[in-house]
Chains A and B, each alone.
Chain A
Amino acid sequence: MRALIVDDERLARLELRRLLAAHPEVEIVGEARDGTEALELIRKSSPDLLFLDIQMPGMTGFELLELLDDVPQVIFTTAYDQYAIQAFEVNALDYLMKPVATARLAAALARVRPRSETPRLEQVFVRDGDRCWILRLPEIFLLESEGNYTRLYFGDERPLIRRSLNALEAQLDPAVFFRADRKQILNLKWIEKVEVAVSGGLLVTLRGGRTVEMSRRQSNRLREILSL
């Protein structure tokens, strides 16, 4: 497992490196002193795991994540920001309080999932005002274009992210995400019901009740995929 340590304090990085020495499965591919350095290292070595401090000069940990297309798995390390972290959907990440207890570090590492073989987008970092999510893609049932932004639908949330629908489409697994029309991409695994609309196109109802009407051309493609 390839890991990157991001912290502005040398002594903090030193201490974390010392603690990780007890975990041979973790290979430390680099250390970054701030967000700018981290961005560079992530693009260069694409680590599986980030140990990320939140308060850093120049750029906070959250701001760094927003700049990433593909978010690696993240373990936050912080002195006193647990309240900020608890605002997250915890399923996607863990956090460690400094000074870090060894048992706590082991538990966090145990939750890290092995990386899949295909280099597909697995999770995105989403921030909407004060609320943030590290979101695993299967949870998204609909993506909707709003100019250069894209609105994500998952659970009861519908935050806007700063990426275009076309850019996202290139990174999505075509077996799961289907382009319904110019503006919408839907998650095939969330389809509950398909009907033929008056216009001849298909009317798809997703789990949760949301309906999407498809163009005639895309309807034909969907019929092929679903072998209707």
Chain B
Amino acid sequence: MVNQSQRSWNIVSRRRAAALLAVLLWPGGVPRAASPLPNVRKSIEDAFSTVSGLSRLPDDRVSTLLVGGKPLTGPPDDFSRRRTGAEILQSGITSGPGDNAIALLHLLDKQGFETRFIDAVRISTKSLEDAAEGCAFVAVLDPQNNQWVLADPARSVYIWPFDLSSKTVYQNCWIGFRGPIADYPVHDPASLTKFYRDTLKTVPMDYLNHHLFRFQFTVDSSLIGPDGKYRNPHLEQFLGDNGNFLNSRGIRPVNEIPVRLVAGGPNGVFSVDESDRGWVYTVGQESTWGWWIVDVLEDRLNRNLEENRSIHAIVPKAPSAAFWTGAGILCALLLGVLVWQRRRLAVQPSTLAYWGCQLLGWGGLLMLTILAVLNQPGSDTGGIVYGSVYCLLGVALTGLLRREIRRRRWLSGPTWPMVAAVPVFGTVHAGAAETYSVVVHAMGKGLGQNPGDALKTWAVTLAFWTVWTVLYVLLTGPRRHREAEVRLQLALREAELRALEAQINPHFLFNCLNSIRALVAENPAQSQDMLTRLANILRYNLRRDVEHTVPLHSEVEIVSDYLALESARFEDRLRVHISIDPDAAPVPVPPMLLQTLVENALKHGIAPRAEGGDLSVRAAIVGDSMMMEVENPGEIAETDPTTTPLGLANIRERLRILYNGRASFELKNRDGHVAATVLIPMTA
């Protein structure tokens, strides 16, 4: 686009008379200047004079002119871009602005300047719809300061300095060729049309949106007849066509120009007036209606823009700060009500936090998108709808991921499912958004953004998903940790209580009471001792404020009491051997663990045998562990942890939780005996 500061031009048409004189004096053109090169401005102005002295071919007549040395007969358009500069100047006749530019170039070339031919296509409704139109220019290098100057023969204007690499000239000319005239690919009217059409295709949609206008025509009552219909029957069709053309090409102009159509005189004369209230187009009763009207308006608008004057456009307004403040307060209120009424809504704090974060993240992204769209006029609601679709997809897919994470416990397992989920979900998200974009664009609804760079969308989406996942893992981390801790503690407590409850073995209790009753008469002293021991056991069993561990010697006391009571029942069938290493006595152990092992040994090793047997309880330090062992006669099938009795399964579970897998429990056959061995680590 041409920068305002670079836009300087002089109108030199008043020197037309001098130019005519020059052509008369030097019919072959201005003679080649001797080195050093003459002043570039003066040379251009002189060349303008010469070119503007050329006479136009009559529009309505067939002419004959020399083309490449041969005579050619045809209407004026047939000569366009066909003749060399020398031929044009020699004939003194031009077929249009293109010829003028070629002639100008020829003149400047002859003076030894470095020149470039520049051909641009006009950005206008007419150019797009009807015949592509162009503007030809000449760029000249000023050798004194090494700057380029652009000469426009159509307006007798030069722009200085000119950036040779700029894409446009003025507001509405998109450059399609810049280079030495020898490289110019156009040689006849047909190739010219093709050149312009091709160039038009390269113009970015954004540029079209900014440089074409949407006209909002309102029809004055003066144009409407007494029957309520338009006086001019072509007006209705014109109004109907208006806008359709731009829509059909997906062009959404930034500027809307209100134009009031007013009836003028009876003839075809028209005029355009600008007032503070917009444009007024006064049209003669017999005017024809067509693109030329729009063309006239566009031309005027572009001139206004070049000269930095108002175009009286309706520019879509970005929502004000007040709107955003209001929306913010509303959201905050809504959030506040949600927090306040969370009990009634039965929403857990974690759920609330999750949705808060989702709202903040995706909602924030949507807000930013809306702001960006509104700040970049031209892409209107389409971008906002696309943004909404994208963010809703984001909410839905992240919700799905969260559900999977929670259901499949991905965060408490290996990390690869999470690492794999991010690209998978991200790709689905980007793919869905892109598909939406393509489909909507194909339907021409104007509700999506143009299918853009899919790779870019994918990369950005992956970045969002990475951020989301990292945030999710980080934010839920402390809660998960707490939950896992609580779950483990509950499991341990439950296992401990189950261990305790299982120990008040009613069969043992009532047999024991029966034995004591028999002893009361036979051996009162022993019966008293047994009652004391039974009381000890009951007290130990009935307490519920258990510690996770007790010193081994407390556990051994209870085991001794228990075995003493059982000895009274089994008498000589039970022979007990207890051997506790003094170093092992204070070691903390899970309560009721040794007791369970002893009871198990008695039940399976002693009770079923008529001859009874030896029951050994040992505890000793082995390396950095404490070993407890209970041995009884008998044999077991090799232990399979899944089929062990409930009491033993409970022991395994408690050891696993308490010592985090570092303790061990084994049940093994050993020389006609069964040994239950527990190893408990003594280091923390």
Contact = CB atoms under 8 A, between A and B. Distances in A.
B507 A79 contact: yes
Contacts of B518: 11-12, 14-15, 18
A111 to B, nearest CB: 22
Given A11-B515, A80-B506, A98-B511, A33 B521 contact: no
B515 A33 contact: no
Nearest to B608: A57
Interface in B510-527: 510-511, 513-515, 517-519, 521-522
Nearest to A36: B610
A48 interface: no
Nearest to B568: A11
A40 interface: no
B610 A33 contact: yes
A11 B607 contact: no
Interface string A93-121: 00001111000000000000000000000
Nearest to B569: A9
A44 interface: no
Contacts of B607: 55, 57
B609 interface: yes
A42 B119 CA distance: 130
Contacts of B571: 9-11
A11 B512 CA distance: 10
Contacts of A79: 506-507, 509-511, 514
Given A33-B610, A58-B610, A99-B517, A12 B510 contact: no
Given A11-B569, A12-B515, A14-B518, A57 B510 contact: no
Contacts of B509: 79-80
A11 B521 contact: no
Interface in A70-94: 79-81
Interface string B357-386: 000000000000000000000000000000
A36 B510 CA distance: 25
Given A34-B610, A57-B608, A57-B610, A9 B515 contact: yes
Interface string A1-28: 0000000111110110010000000000
B568 A99 contact: no
B331 to A, nearest CB: 65
Given A14-B522, A34-B610, A9 B511 contact: yes
A11 B514 CA distance: 8
A25 B573 CA distance: 34
A55 B573 CA distance: 15
A12 B569 CA distance: 8
Interface string B568-599: 11110100000000000000000000000000
B507 A12 contact: no
Nearest to A100: B514
Nearest to B606: A57
A99 B367 CA distance: 82
Contacts of A12: 511, 514-515, 518
Nearest to B607: A57
Contacts of B507: 55, 79-81
A15 B517 contact: yes
Nearest to A34: B610
A11 B513 CA distance: 11
Interface string B42-80: 000000000000000000000000000000000000000
A157 B511 CA distance: 35
Interface string B161-204: 00000000000000000000000000000000000000000000
B513 A99 contact: yes
A12 B518 CA distance: 7
B512 to A, nearest CB: 9
B610 A97 contact: no
B609 A98 contact: no
Contacts of A10: 571
A79 B517 CA distance: 13
A193 B206 CA distance: 110
A178 B446 CA distance: 102
Contacts of A100: 514
Interface string B600-620: 000000011110000000000
A89 B247 CA distance: 95
A36 B609 CA distance: 13
A10 B522 CA distance: 12
18 contacts: A11-B571, A12-B511, A14-B518, A15-B517, A18-B521, A57-B608, A58-B608, A58-B610, A79-B506, A79-B507, A79-B509, A79-B510, A80-B509, A98-B510, A99-B510, A99-B514, A99-B517, A100-B514
Given A9-B570, A18-B518, 10 more contacts: A11-B522, A14-B518, A15-B517, A33-B610, A55-B507, A58-B609, A79-B511, A97-B510, A99-B510, A100-B514
Interface of A: 8-12, 14-15, 18, 33-34, 36, 55, 57-58, 79-81, 97-100
